[in-house]
Structure 1
Amino acid sequence: MSPAGLSSDAELLSVDVPEAIAAALRTTEPARQLLLGAAAPAALQAAGAGVRPRSVRFLAEIVRRGGIEVAARLAEPMPAPEQTEVVRPWLVVAHGDDRVFADWLDAVAAIIDARLSRP
C-alpha cells in the first residue's frame, strides 16, 4: 500500500521514509509526492524520537539558506543523537530543489505540532 493510503499510526510508522523521499524526488511533482507519501510518516517517526517542531523548522531554515548538502554535513542536525538518527537519513537521500525539501520539512513540523497540540 502506498504511504498516502495509510491510516493508522502503526502503518505510518512502518513506512521507509528515506525511500519515500527518494521516490518522491524522482517524480515530476516532487513537492506533491513528498507531502502525500512521506510527511505524515516522517512526523510520526520524528515525534516518537522526541523531535520538536521548532527543531525541524530550524533545519528547514538551514536548508533554505545553505542547501541540503550543508544541512547533511551538520554533525548533529537535531538536538539529541536519537533524534539525529531519525532525521539524518532524510538528509542523505534528499537532493534537488532545496526549497521543496525545506517546505517539506516545514510540513513535517506542522504535523508534529498538530499532533502535540491535540487533546
Structure 2
Amino acid sequence: MPPTPESRTDDEVLAATDVTMLLRYGLTQDAFRGALFGDGAVAAAVTLDRLGVLPRSLVFVAEIVRSGGLAYAAGLPEPLPSPEAAALLRDWLSGAAQTATTPGAEAWAVRWLEAVAEIIALRRSTRRS
C-alpha cells in the first residue's frame, strides 16, 4: 500500500501557486481571468499576508499601476515596505508587464491588486474575531 500523502492546509497549497504565471495569462486571456481572480488572488493574499503586507500598501501599489503602468510599478526599488515582500511583488509585476500589452490588461492588474488587498483585510478581520 502506498504511503498516505502528507496533509497540507489550503493556505499551504495556495501559497505554492505560481502567481506570476496566472498574472501573465489572466491579464491577457479571458479564459484564465477567473483563475487569476480566484486561486491567484487568494494565493497572493496568503503569501503577502504571511510576509506582513498591509492591505493599504497594495492599494497604494494599485494606484501606482493605475497612474504609471505595470512596468513603472515593477521598476520601483521598494513597492512594499519589507524587502522580501517588495522583491516578490516586483517579480510578479515585472512578469505581468512583459506580457500585459493588450488593451485593458493594466486595468485588470489594478483590479487584481485591489482584490488581493481586500482578501488580506478579510483574513485579518476574521483572525481578530
TM range (shorter): 0.7 to 0.9
Partner deviation per Cα, 1:55-111 (whole Å, 9 max, x = no partner): 000000000111111101111111120111221111011123211100000000000
Mapped partners of 1:48, 1:111: distance in 2: 13
Q: Could you list the runs of 5+ residues in structure 1 that have no partner in the other structure?
A: 1-6
Partner deviation per Cα, 1:27-60 (whole Å, 9 max, x = no partner): 2355434202310000000111111100000000
Which residue number in structure 1 is paired with residue 118 of structure 2? Answer: 110
Mapped partners of 2:35, 2:17: distance in 1: 14
Q: Is the 8 A contact 1:49 1:86 kept in 2?
A: no
Which residue number in structure 2 is paired with residue 76 of structure 1? Answer: 78
Q: Is the 8 A contact 2:19 2:40 kept in 1?
A: yes
Secondary structure, aligned partner of 1:51:
coil
The letter of the residue matching 2:20 is P
Q: Is the 8 A contact 2:75 2:90 kept in 1?
A: no
RMSD over equivalenced CA pairs, Å: 1.6
1:91 equivalent in alignment to 2:99: no
Q: 1:29 to 1:62 in 2, by over 3 A?
A: farther
The letter of the residue matching 1:83 is A
Q: Could you list the runs of 5+ residues in structure 2 that have no partner in the other structure?
A: 1-8
Between Structure 1 and Structure 2, whose CA radius of gyration is higher?
2
TM-score, normalization by structure 1:
0.86
Number of aligned positions between the proteins:
113
Secondary structure, aligned partner of 2:30:
coil
TM-score, normalization by structure 2:
0.80
Secondary structure, aligned partner of 2:53:
coil
Mapped partners of 1:85, 1:46: distance in 2: 11
Mapped partners of 2:14, 2:21: distance in 1: 13
Which residue number in structure 1 is paired with residue 47 of structure 2? Answer: 45
Mapped partners of 2:57, 2:11: distance in 1: 22
Q: Pick which of 19-28 and 94-103 moved more.
A: 19-28
